[in-house]
Amino acid sequence: MSSYLNYILPIFYFSLVWAYGKAFFADQLWAKRAKTPLLIGTLTFHGLYLAVRTIIFQHPPVTTVFEIFSMLAFSVTATYWIIELRSHRKETGYFILNIAFFFQLASTFFIKDTPVVPEILRSPLFGAHVSCALIGYAASTIAGAYSFMYLMLYHEMKASRFGVIYKKLPTLESLERMTMTAIKLVVALLGVAICFGIVWLHHVYQNAHYDDPKLIGTVIVWMMYGFLVVARKYFAVQGRKIMILSIAGFFISIFSMTIINIFFSGFHKFY
């Protein structure tokens, strides 16, 4: 059953991105009306899929990269829904949900069924570590998406082009504020995830070492985002530079989660 749901899920995400895109670029009334119900429907279906998978495999789907990708798609979509509810602004959905769609698509095609979970992954500390890291990465994705929107609007305004991007996106100040809020969340959550991870590491390995590429990658990402917060607050670095660094941070996060995790990881490789 879980595999059926797994293949239906990207169709939900595709329809969602399609509706948000049609509403943003073509101003179509049906899309404007359909997008939020579709968002709630997709989240419900995704929640059902994750629950079914948890029941079937007897562990939360956070133990492999592509399970985490699916969780990430869910977290990004859920976070976006909260933003939409709170801000009453629905224009940014297309850009954020596109990323969720690609996370889910990758997960759907590459996810493997893992009925047996190593004992070390059953620790509550591991759960806290993964949850914080997951929400941190979701925040990083959202910061990246808002930064991308900022740069698009920035260039449109610099070039005096007053098309759909100019008309539909929120103000530059809003986009910068939302990016910075997401970046602060990344710093806080990845920081906590790293701390939990280190404590858990000592708990499960007698001779713990810190040269794991995934750990180093995550610390670099965390420091990079931390630098952005400090630079913004104390050195008045604003606008375009912050956004470029935020997008770079997002790509390094993805690199750390995928390439490093799959090909170079030390103790982060559990299977």
Partner 1 sequence: MNLLCVGISHHTAPLDVRERLWFSSDEIRRTLPLLKPLSAGESVLFSTCNRTELYVLMENGTIEPDVLKKLLIAQKSAAGKVQPSDMFMMTAGDAARHLFRVAASLDSMVLGDVQILAQVKEGFNLATELGTAGVFMNRLFQLAFRVGKRTRTETEIGEGAVSISYAAVELAQKIFDDLQKRTAFVIGAGETAELTATHLRGKNIGKLLITNRTQERAEQLAQKVHGTAIPFNSWCDALAESDIVISSVEVNRYIIQPSDIQSLVRKNRNGPLCVIDLGVPRNIDPQIKELENIFLYDLDTLNTMIDENLQHRKAEIPKVDAIIVDVLAELTQWYSSLEVNPTITALTQFMESIRQEEVAKNINRFNPKDRELVELITKRIINKIIHAPIVNLRNGQETSLTERLQKMSAIQKLFGLAKSSKEDSHAE
Q: Cβ of residue 181: shortest distance to partner 1, in angstroms?
A: 13
Q: Cβ of residue 201: shortest distance to partner 1, in angstroms?
A: 40
Q: Which is nearer to partner 1, 67 or 176 (CB)?
A: 176
Binding mask 181-220 for partner 1 (x = CB under 8 A): ----------------------------------------
| CA atoms of 246 and 82, how far apart (whole Å) | 21
Question: Which one of 117, 238, 258, 267 is in contact with partner 1 (CB under 8 A)?
Answer: 238
Q: Cβ of residue 155: shortest distance to partner 1, in angstroms?
A: 11
Q: Which is nearer to partner 1, 134 or 183 (CB)?
A: 183
**Count of chain residues binding partner 1 (CB under 8 A):** 18
* Gyration radius from the chain CA atoms: 19
| CA atoms of 221 and 234, how far apart (whole Å) | 20
Q: Cβ of residue 249: shortest distance to partner 1, in angstroms?
A: 20
Contact 219, 260 (CB under 8 A): no
Q: Which is nearer to partner 1, 14 or 154 (CB)?
A: 154
Q: Cβ of residue 238: shortest distance to partner 1, in angstroms?
A: 5
Asked if residue 240 binds partner 1 (CB under 8 A), the reply is: yes
Kindly report the backbone phi and psi dihedral angles of residue 172, in degrees, each rounded to the nearest multiple of 5, phi listed first. Answer: -60, -40
| CA atoms of 120 and 24, how far apart (whole Å) | 46
Q: Which is nearer to partner 1, 99 or 169 (CB)?
A: 169
| CA atoms of 193 and 183, how far apart (whole Å) | 15
Residue 147 to residues 82, 116, 143, 144, 183: CA-CA distances in angstroms? 19, 40, 6, 5, 10
Asked if residue 87 binds partner 1 (CB under 8 A), the reply is: no
Binding mask 146-185 for partner 1 (x = CB under 8 A): -------x---xx-x-x---xx---xxxx--x--------
Please provide the size of the chain in residues.
Answer: 271
Instruction: Determine the number of helices (DSSP H) and then strands (DSSP E) in the chain.
Output: 9, 0
Q: Which is nearer to partner 1, 177 or 203 (CB)?
A: 177
Closest by CA to 75, choosing from 96, 53, 54, 56, is 96
Question: Which one of 18, 239, 248, 259 is in contact with partner 1 (CB under 8 A)?
Answer: 239
132 token code pair: 């914080």
Contact 70, 52 (CB under 8 A): no
Q: Cβ of residue 166: shortest distance to partner 1, in angstroms?
A: 7
In the complex, the residues that contact partner 1 under the rule CB under 8 A are 153, 157-158, 160, 162, 166-167, 171-174, 177, 236-241
